[in-house]
Structure 1
């Protein structure tokens, strides 16, 4: 038996699925910390693009009126990602 994940089908930056899981765990800080601990790729420079991609995608849904409960957590995460960006 195999499971295929068809959501957002295609090539994604390293850590994309981990970043998506982290984003949806932001409402529960203890869970978010456990996700980050379980997936150390989230703290790596390689996963910076994945985090930025996921954060931008979900912030767009907030702008459309969806996922409003995630808005504050995503804003905080976006600021952290900007601080970690090599271009900052």
Structure 2
């Protein structure tokens, strides 16, 4: 259960969202991955892909533009896992 949006989400969704919020903080983002090992799991991969896709949709609508480059880099990293 994901309480932020009151619905179901993949395991690790909150950790992936937290990670996404730190993409502009190069010292913090790697620490999030270490702190939440679910992000290295198969379920975490699904959660990361979901969060990344959701945020890229907001970019397409003109939001979160500051994250666009980091999100596109994240997508490429996810493709190679």
Structure-2-length-normalised TM-score: 0.92
Residues 1:80 and 2:77 are matched in the alignment: yes
* Structure 2 partner of 1:59: 56
In structure 2, stretches of 5+ residues that fail to align are none
* Structure 2 partner of 1:34: 31
1:6 shift after superposition: 4.0
Q: Which structure has the bigger radius of gyration?
A: 1
| 2:20 corresponds to which of 16, 19, 23 | 23
Give the total of aligned pairs.
80
CA contact (8 A) 1:24 1:70 kept: no
Structure-1-length-normalised TM-score: 0.85
